[in-house]
Amino acid sequence: MLDLINQIKENELSVWVQEDAIKLAFGEEKPSDVLLAKIKENKPGLMDILRRNGILSKHDFWETEIFSLPNTSATLSFAQERMLFIEQFEQGTDAYHIPYTVELSSDIQQDVLIQAFQAVVDRHPVLNSIYKQNEEGQFALHPLDQKVCISQQAAADFADFKTQLSQAIERPFDLSTEAPMRLSQFTSEGKHYLLILWHHIAFDGWSTDIFLRELSQAYQTLLTQGRPSQQGQPVLPPLAIQYSDYAFWQRHQLEGEGLESQMAFWSDTLSGCQTLELPTDHPRPTKVNYQGRNVALTLDSALSEQLKTLARDQDTTLYVVMLSGFYLTLATLSGQDDIVVGTPSDNRHQPQTQDLIGYFATSLVLRAQVDLAGTVSDLFKQIHTVMTNAKMNQDVPFERLIDLLNVERDMSRHPLFQVMFGMQSFGHQQLSQDALPFESVDLGDEGLYAPAKFDLNFHVDDGHDALKLGLDYATSLFEHASAQRVLTIYQHILKSFVADSEQCLADIDVLSESEKTLLLRDWNTTQSPAPSMPTWHQLFEAQVQTTPNAVALTHQDQHLTYQELNQKANQLARTLRQQHVIRYERELTADTPIALYLDRSVDMVVSILAVLKAGGAYVPVSPEYPKERTQFILEDTAAPLVLTQQTHLSQLDGWLSDLPQLPELVLADNAYPQSSENLNLTVSGDDLAYIIYTSGTTGKPKGVMMPHSAYADFIHQYHQSVQAQPVSLVSLTQYTFDIFGLEYGLPLLSGGTVHLSDIHQASETLSEHASKTNVLQLTPSVWSVLQVALPEALDLSHVTVIVGGESGSEAIYQSLSQRFKEVIQVYGPTEACIWSTQSRYQSGNAHIIGTPLSNERCYVLSSNGKLCPIGVPGELHIGGTGLARGYLNRDTLTAEQFIDSPIEGQDERLYKTGDWVRWRHDGQLEYIGRNDSQVKIRGYRIELGEIEATLMAADGVQQAVVIDREKEGDKYLAAYLVSDQTLSMDDLRHSLNAHLPDYMVPATFNQIEAIPLTLNGKLDRRALPEPEWVESNGYVAPESELEIALCDIWSQVLGLERVGVHDSFFQIGGNSINAIKVISQINRYLGHSLRLELVNLYTTKTIAELAAYIEENQTVSFLDEQDNEMSI
């Protein structure tokens, strides 16, 4: 009949009842004969509906949008359907409770109050109904015939009352047997409190004021007039329509063509939207647990009034101003500019819904671009437009929006948006003083109830002179201090808005003065006296005078004392200077690059020291480099001299012949009859000590030029901080990696010994020198290889290990902490002289890189050069004495990477590291990753280390590496695993499915013999083999009886001709509603053998996975429905 009524309206006709006839009015054109015939044919039913809804005039007809119809009382709205899905999925949750606590007055008439509650419930049957599921899995509303009652509880004191109150709020409803409203009275210390607890399935914020208004009206009526029903009248007049009529109307609307344009709007608006990636304090759990807390802040009255004035001046609403501030806050926190936010909408734009209690509220999805180059007023205009457009298209239920956009099912976060913003003042309705025998009790600050349905739920209460801000946050993601900081940033942004609405968003300062002091001074006060001499080799020469006969250097069976090392270096330094004069007829001057082409040997350290003493800058080149890289470095530096060994002469002669300038080859393994005394040569701290080549983004390596002062100061300061003295160290790092500078520089400044080794000989070298070694330096990748080779009996509990050069997993650091005395986490780019920060490892802190070292300074800056607030990721910029001069022959790149500080009042040169970090609340830096290589899969930003750690926890996995790759334009994850046994990839996939969201499970698993490493001991991602794909021909038919039955159920519910065993439920049309139907029918098929829950369809998404789960967990065989037999 609704179709006919809609057709009448579409033709701009009017119908109403007049006595026993239906009156019909039309405009210039008469209705068609077909329509008139249809009206006449349905006259009795149409007249009944018109009478039922009081349509007695043309005006009545057009004012009525939702009609009261017979037989609609069991209909559920889309919102109720989704709520029942959540209840089933969570198997009972308190996340959608709506508590309202009041203190009862002393003169309360309890029986009258109960009758008043009953009157409201009678007027709104949705408050006294349950939800039953039929055999097909469909839910329907069933009315209850039970009276309102109030439970009674006594509390020992106020603290006990709060405990009991909290427990009452958190006790889940069983919506299949229990009405969605509970009343609980508590007595404590002579006072009486009442908890009114509603379930969201029958209630929303708007309903609060309706409920209190009607409760007041009923209470007063009963007090003054007695019970009107005794005279045949209800206490409250009946409603024209009920919530179930709205639910029926909503479904009918969606089935028609009226919402096609709205669906198209949402499809276009939300196409390609990204997940909001807020910086969290804890890894995201695989499943939302709804555990939350809240923080609150009240703006002062002056600021509140200024914001209201600003809204009027901008010709917009206070809501738009406050929401704009929230968008800028999120942009500041996330570094993203395309942001999706949810906002609650009362969804009561039909006048007939204004007085209905029920679950009307929906979530509008708001997508906006925060352009930092725009002004505050520009942002207001955009948000105003976004909100207006969303309101104009709000008839599409959020539940249907998820299906329309085919949103990825992810149990770890809310679909489409992860943060909610709302502004409302429900529950502040002013009732007359004596209207109700109670007053509301605000226990919000007591933390009694703050479920986290979203990552963040921000709400503004504008029901007072001063605006009140509240933030509910998920405790599984955020610490309390982080949530408080969000409010602080938001408040600073609002103050900036009222100060100047035409300022550029990028110019808004979100930091307080106290936070600036922390970031600029307290956490960067690292000044320490410089070394007594400007160069490291001079400091070494001083150490030679102190410990001339101590062993300085060993390699295999070779040993050199400090005096022998110094003398050999002096002789070679004089030879270098002499050869330069002979070949080029001029003295070797400062900054002259001298290339080293040497195998790992004592010659290598002698040569480094010799170049420094000769006044040149050493350039290490590995004999393992390919010809092209070697030629590039020698041509780029135009090195006049190359120090090498006899074994490499013939190869170098051939390779160097192609160079524009042929360098002079000098043999480091020759003995030269030169003076062994220290050279009387002045070398400045500003002169270059070395040039080390690192990989470049253009494919060509770039030479980092490091001055003596930076290297000397680093070794001197690090020497001061190391507790173990003298330092004896087994050196495993290639000399082409800048951190090798610590491995020779630190021991030789302390009177200790450098034991040269490599990763292949490390086990033997460590075993031989274990008792004399007290420091070791490793990359995480080197340790992952070395730990397998080290004998368990080898005692390293006295050794301090320095770990850095790349990020490492928690498993790596845990294994290190079990073998070594202490683990020092370090971080530093080649451009900032070896290490810039360090921290002593503590369990769970694998990504912490610590605090700046002496004379180093660290600043975390946003993309527009602003200091990032504590907890907010940004690019790490390093200042201090350790900075390189720049890149050799790359002036443009040097100017891009080495910049003048953009921080106001700072006159300092900074290096842009390209690394994404953030300050923690304890003043330590946390490493997040490279800002130019963030991994995103299906719109989600992914932390590969989390996947690797989960794989490492699986049985049999010794090492694990996960990388992103691309196939046919689509990005995917590939896992590489090392094990001494054959791994079951299906088991690994199943294990990851149980711990990680679907988008974090690698598409391929590849078992390899060893993880490839670069010469510098880091993971060599490019050397990983191409993943092995198991090709699929698409459809794979079911084979077992169970698989056939499951495929039949899926096909029937989803309306598909066939379903394959590897088809994913949600990728072939499954959604939350038909998931309920599928589980219901599968449970009916299984009988008593096993009961599945909704969550099983989210963790085992294919027929094959689901069948395997059932077979593994069933307790009895399947019920034979035909003969009703069961075998156990």
- At 1020, which CATH number? 3.30.300.30
Task: State how far the Cα of 924 lies from the Cα of 903, in Å rounded to an integer.
Answer: 20
Helix, strand or coil, per DSSP, at residue 97: strand
What is the total count of domains within the chain?
Answer: 6
pLDDT of the residue at 1127: 30
Tell me whether residue 515 is in a domain: no
Task: State how far the Cα of 1128 lies from the Cα of 1126, in Å rounded to an integer.
Answer: 7
pLDDT of the residue at 808: 84
**Domain boundary, last residue among 51, 66, 84:** 51
- Could you read off the pLDDT of 955-974 as tens digits, one per residue? 889 888 888 887 766 678 88
Tell me whether residue 729 is in a domain: yes
**What is the mean pLDDT of the segment spanning 340-357?**
92
CA nearest neighbour of 151 among 126, 175, 168, 128: 168
- Identify whether residues 580 and 489 lie together within a single domain: no
Tell me whether residue 883 is in a domain: no
**What is the mean pLDDT of the segment spanning 629-648?**
95
- At 109, which CATH number? 3.30.559.10
Structure tokens at 1113: 């967990």
- Identify whether residues 1021 and 1048 lie together within a single domain: no
- Identify whether residues 390 and 304 lie together within a single domain: yes
Task: State how far the Cα of 193 lies from the Cα of 103, in Å rounded to an integer.
Answer: 4
Residue 700 has pLDDT above 60, yes or no: yes
Task: State how far the Cα of 1055 lies from the Cα of 1036, in Å rounded to an integer.
Answer: 18
Torsion sign, CA atoms 400, 406, 412, 415: negative
pLDDT of the residue at 257: 63
- Could you read off the pLDDT of 609-625 as tens digits, one per residue? 999 999 999 999 999 88
Q: Does the pTM of the predicted model rise above 0.75?
A: yes
Average pLDDT score, the chain: 89
CA nearest neighbour of 643 among 670, 609, 666, 672: 666
Backbone angles phi, psi at 208, to 5 degrees: -60, -50
**What is the mean pLDDT of the segment spanning 353-372?**
94
1115: confidence class by pLDDT, cuts 50, 70, 90: low
Structure tokens at 198: 């509603």
DSSP codes, 865-920: SPBPPTT--EEEEEEETT---EETT-HHHHHHHEEE--STT---EEEEEEEEEEE-
Strand ranges (E), 528-631:
551-555, 558-561, 593-597, 617-621
> 975 - beta bridge partners?
962, 1005
- Any idea which of 553-567, 1047-1061, 1076-1090 has the lowest mean pLDDT? 1076-1090
Task: Please measure the distance between the N-terminal and C-terminal CA atoms of the chain and give it in whole angstroms.
Answer: 54
How far lies 1122's CA from each of 952, 1085, 1119, in Å? Answer: 48, 12, 9
- Could you read off the pLDDT of 191-214 as tens digits, one per residue? 999 999 999 999 998 999 999 999
- Identify whether residues 1011 and 1060 lie together within a single domain: no
447: confidence class by pLDDT, cuts 50, 70, 90: low
Q: Where are the alpha helices (DSSP H) in 722-796?
A: 740-745, 747-750, 762-769, 780-789
Report percent pLDDT > 90 for the chain. Answer: 57
Q: Are 858 and 503 in contact (CB under 8 A)?
A: no
- Identify whether residues 316 and 334 lie together within a single domain: yes
Task: State how far the Cα of 386 lies from the Cα of 366, in Å rounded to an integer.
Answer: 7
Task: State how far the Cα of 1038 lies from the Cα of 1047, in Å rounded to an integer.
Answer: 7
Please give the residue that has the higher pLDDT: either 233 or 110.
110
- Identify whether residues 974 and 825 lie together within a single domain: no
**What is the mean pLDDT of the segment spanning 1088-1108?**
83
- At 320, which CATH number? 3.30.559.30
178: confidence class by pLDDT, cuts 50, 70, 90: very high
Residue 427 has pLDDT above 60, yes or no: no
Tell me whether residue 252 is in a domain: no
Tell me whether residue 956 is in a domain: yes
473, amino acid identity: Y
pLDDT of the residue at 755: 95
Tell me whether residue 754 is in a domain: yes
589, amino acid identity: T
Tell me whether residue 997 is in a domain: yes
- At 1053, which CATH number? 1.10.1200.10
> 3 - beta bridge partners?
none
- Identify whether residues 1026 and 1058 lie together within a single domain: no
- Any idea which of 321-335, 515-529, 1085-1099 has the lowest mean pLDDT? 1085-1099
- Could you read off the pLDDT of 1016-1060 as tens digits, one per residue? 777 787 789 888 764 444 678 898 999 999 999 999 888 888 898
- At 560, which CATH number? 3.40.50.12780
pLDDT of the residue at 233: 78
Q: Which residues contact 613 (CB under 8 A, 6 or more apart)?
A: 537, 569, 570, 573, 678, 679, 681
- Could you read off the pLDDT of 909-927 as tens digits, one per residue? 999 999 999 999 999 999 9
Task: State how far the Cα of 601 lies from the Cα of 734, in Å rounded to an integer.
Answer: 11
Q: Would you put residue 1087 in left (φ > 0), alpha (ψ -120 to 50) or beta?
A: left
pLDDT of the residue at 1124: 38
- Identify whether residues 604 and 750 lie together within a single domain: yes
CA nearest neighbour of 1013 among 1051, 1056, 978: 978
Helix, strand or coil, per DSSP, at residue 630: helix
CB-CB neighbours of 124 under 10 Å = 25
Task: State how far the Cα of 637 lies from the Cα of 835, in Å rounded to an integer.
Answer: 25
Backbone angles phi, psi at 921, to 5 degrees: -65, -20
Residue 553 has pLDDT above 50, yes or no: yes
82: confidence class by pLDDT, cuts 50, 70, 90: confident
Task: State how far the Cα of 363 lies from the Cα of 78, in Å rounded to an integer.
Answer: 12
**Domain boundary, last residue among 448, 475, 499:** 499
CA nearest neighbour of 685 among 802, 533, 566, 468: 533
CB-CB neighbours of 447 under 10 Å = 13
Residues in the chain: 1128
**What is the mean pLDDT of the segment spanning 965-987?**
81
- Identify whether residues 854 and 982 lie together within a single domain: no
**What is the mean pLDDT of the segment spanning 687-715?**
90
Torsion sign, CA atoms 318, 324, 330, 332: negative
Q: Which residues contact 312 (CB under 8 A, 6 or more apart)?
A: none
Residue 428 has pLDDT above 70, yes or no: no
Residue 464 has pLDDT above 90, yes or no: no
pLDDT of the residue at 800: 94
Structure tokens at 86: 């959540």
Q: Are 782 and 729 in contact (CB under 8 A)?
A: no
Structural domain range at position 308:
257-273+294-421+428-499
Tell me whether residue 916 is in a domain: no
pLDDT of the residue at 803: 95
Alpha-carbon dihedral angle through residues 150, 155, 158, 162, given to the nearest 10 degrees:
-60
Q: At 195, which helix (H) or strand (E)? A: strand 191-199
- Identify whether residues 266 and 315 lie together within a single domain: yes
Helix, strand or coil, per DSSP, at residue 641: strand
pLDDT of the residue at 1126: 33
- Identify whether residues 104 and 9 lie together within a single domain: no
Residue 997 has pLDDT above 90, yes or no: no
pLDDT of the residue at 433: 47
- Could you read off the pLDDT of 499-545 as tens digits, one per residue? 999 999 999 999 989 999 999 999 999 999 999 999 999 999 999 99
**What is the mean pLDDT of the segment spanning 483-496?**
95
Report percent pLDDT > 70 for the chain. Answer: 94
- Identify whether residues 828 and 972 lie together within a single domain: no
Please give the residue that has the higher pLDDT: either 945 or 810.
810
How far lies 967's CA from each of 179, 192, 1029, in Å? Answer: 53, 67, 11
**What is the mean pLDDT of the segment spanning 926-934?**
73
